[in-house]
Amino acid sequence: MADKMTMVVSEGTFDKAIMPLMLATTAASMGTEVNVYYTFFGTKLLKKGANPKMPGMMRLFTGMMVGRMKKMGIPDFDGMMKQAMELGVNFYACSTTMGLMGISESDLRPGVKVLGAAAFIKKAQESNVNLFIG
Amino acid sequence: MDKNATLDAKGLMCPMPIVGLAKKVKEMKSGQVLELLCDDIGGKEDVPAWCSRTGHTLLSMEEDGKILKFYIKIK
């Protein structure tokens, strides 16, 4: 049975944005089929030009975090999204949340697909790893 | 150790060496040997784990001070 993994991302702050991408990229590098499902505030991360910030007052330190990460060889959010897509990670936006947040398909980053809950649950049931991030 | 290519991942932190490794291996042919240089402490466990999940063979690992040298045979 091939490795399959799903992740659900429900928040849109910088820390919650980067973490699933680190895991998704690693899993994809190991030959896992990775499906990441974004819902509620996480859906904003799938918009073109999304630039998430650290939560609360720490938003002021986002630039510093990005700088530190770059020194460690870790790309910024946009770079990580591109890298993940290149490795075959599948990104899905929750269709209902899109309606709630006023996001249309044309707002989404190229390569992102729209998925409903039932289809996502089926993927989760077929996976051996299912993670919920934030 | 005979090698067909070297990937220098020094200075990169987990999981970037693994991401680079996966990309490089795609470009290589079956039977070739890749030398991976890495100084991230996570690499010691990451590289064998990657090999065991992907089916490529970890021929050996050497420690040269802080630098880890892995020799991986492409399946």
Tell whether the model's pLDDT for residue A55 goes beyond 60: yes
Which residues, in sequence order, are CB contacts of A111 under 8 Å at separation 6+?
A85, A91
Residue B15: per-residue pLDDT: 87
What is the CA A106 to chain-centroid distance, rounded? 18
- Which ipTM score applies to this complex? 0.75
Q: What is the CATH number of the domain that holds A124?
A: 3.40.1260.10
d(CA B34, CA B57): 10
Q: What separation in angstroms does the CA of A4 have from each of A7, A31, A107, B21?
A: 10, 9, 28, 20
So what's the pLDDT on residue A39?
95
Interchain CB distance below 8 Å, B11 and A73: yes
What CA–CA distance (Å, rounded) separates B60 from A55?
44
Range of the domain at B69: 5-73
Any A CB within 8 A of B41 CB? no
Position B25 scores a pLDDT of: 95
* Residue A71 token pair: 């020194």
| CB contacts, 8 Å: B19 with chain A | 25-26, 29, 83, 87
Strand partners of residue A33? A4
Domain that holds residue A23: 4-133
Give the pLDDT confidence score for residue B2 in this predicted structure. 86
CATH of the domain at B61: 3.30.110.40
B72 CB near a chain A CB, below 8 Å?
no
Disruptive mutation site among B12, B16, B37, B52 for chain A (greatest number of A CBs within 10 Å):
B16
The reply to whether B52 touches chain A by the CB within 8 Å rule is no
Using the predicted structure, report yes or no on whether residue A1 has a pLDDT greater than 60.
no
Predicted confidence (pLDDT) per residue in B19-42, tens digit: 999 999 999 999 999 999 999 888
Total tally of structural domains belonging to chain B: 1
pLDDT for residue B71 is more than 80: yes
> What is the pLDDT confidence band of residue A114, given thresholds at 50, 70 and 90?
very high
